[in-house]
Amino acid sequence: MFFGLPPTETLRGYRIWDSYFTPAFSHPGTDGSSKLINDIEKSMAAIQLGHFEKLCYFAHVGIGTTTDPELENLLRRKPELVLKPLERLPNKLLGMIQLNLQNPKGSLEALDQWVKNGPMLGVYFPGSGPAAANCLDPHATKVVERVSELGAVIMQHTWLKTGGKRSPNESTPMELATLASRYPRQKFICAHAGGEWEQGIRAVRDTPNVLIETSGFDATAGFIEMATRELGSKRIIFGSHLPSRSLGTELAKVITAQISEEEKKDILGRNYRKLLSVIQSRK
């Protein structure tokens, strides 16, 4: 064991696919990509140390997901900027687009441009910032239906905070379960398992098309054990939240859990690969 990490061959054997890579998450840089590239490079040591095979990040595509109007214009005028990270590390990075339910028309157009006709594999619904919207917002209906037609993946930010929501635009695992029950053939990823995972896991337990993502909160012991017990390892997807969280915090949750090695492989990559296979088969 090297500083708490298993041997290289074990890590490689996990075939780690990271579903929640967040370089420059809220703003890619005024030129459209420099901050994003810097953050990717900042994460390289952790990526190398963890022997990650793939990482999925969430691109801004000029539909109002940042607070910077000039950047939004730039990304619309020069869509090639959106592709820069994928061109830089094409065999390492996967992409999804951040959607804006406050701009449903733009979101539907972006789906066609970037998912149907582009390289992106799914969509991300943020929980904060100008594009945040509660997942039960009526505008979600058409967007979710379109995502479903395309066979793409949905990652929904969720947090369940003591004392209640800080904004009505946040979503909880309970609300995501309600939304997901309306689309039983569409898979939804409940990002961060709701943060307060003891309730988050219970909230989605009876909604089998909801999977939970593992990042975005401290390395609280017992999380993966409870999630595996209540949901089964097939409904759990690893995320790193690098670079704002760490390999230590996020990978340790899974590799140290008291579950089987096969269950770890499910969580660290196998489930995510299966989820992405629908849209990947259409590209």
Partner 1 sequence: MAFHRRELIHGALAAGTASMVAASEGEKSATTPLPSNVLPSNVLPPMSMPSKVIDTNVSLFHWPFRRLPLDEVNELCAKFQQLGITEAWAGSFEALLHRDLRKVNERLQKLCQKRAELIPVGAVNPNLPDWKHDLNLCLGRFAMPGVRLLPGYHGYALDDAVFGELLVTATKLGGFVQVVVAMEDTRTQSSSLQAPNVDPRPLQHWMQQIPDAKVQILNCRPSASDRQTFASIPRLTVDTSRVDGTDGVATLANAIGIDRVLYGSHSPFLIPEAACIRMVETGIPAVDVKAIMQENAEHFRITKSTLPHNQQR
Contact residues toward partner 1 (CB under 8 A) are 1-5, 37, 40-49, 53-54, 87-92, 159, 161-163, 195-196, 198, 217-222, 225, 242-249, 251-253, 255-256, 258
**In the complex, minimum distance from the CB of residue 179 to partner 1, in angstroms, rounded to a whole number:** 22
In whole angstroms, how close is the CB of 252 to partner 1 at the nearest point?
A: 4
- List the strands of the sheet with 52-59, edge to edge: 16-21, 52-59, 93-98, 122-125, 153-157, 188-191, 210-213, 236-237
> 87 vs 112, which CB is nearer to partner 1?
87
> Nearer Cβ to partner 1, position 58 or 197?
197
Among residues 70 and 91, whose Cβ is nearest to partner 1?
91
Long-range contacts from 31-38, C-beta under 8 angstroms, 24+ separation: 31/74, 31/81, 32/71, 32/74, 32/75, 32/78, 32/81, 32/82, 32/84, 33/81, 33/84, 33/85, 36/84, 36/85, 37/84, 37/85, 37/88
Around 97, how many Cα atoms within 13 Å sit in the side-chain half-sphere? 29
**One-letter identity of residue 190:** C
Instruction: Give the nearer residue to partner 1 in terms of CB position, either 167 or 258.
Output: 258
Closest approach of partner 1 to the CB of residue 248, in Å: 3
Closest contact distance (angstroms) between CB of 280 and partner 1 is 15
Nearest distance from residue 8's CB to partner 1, in Å? 12
Residue 54 or 60: which CB sits closer to partner 1? 54
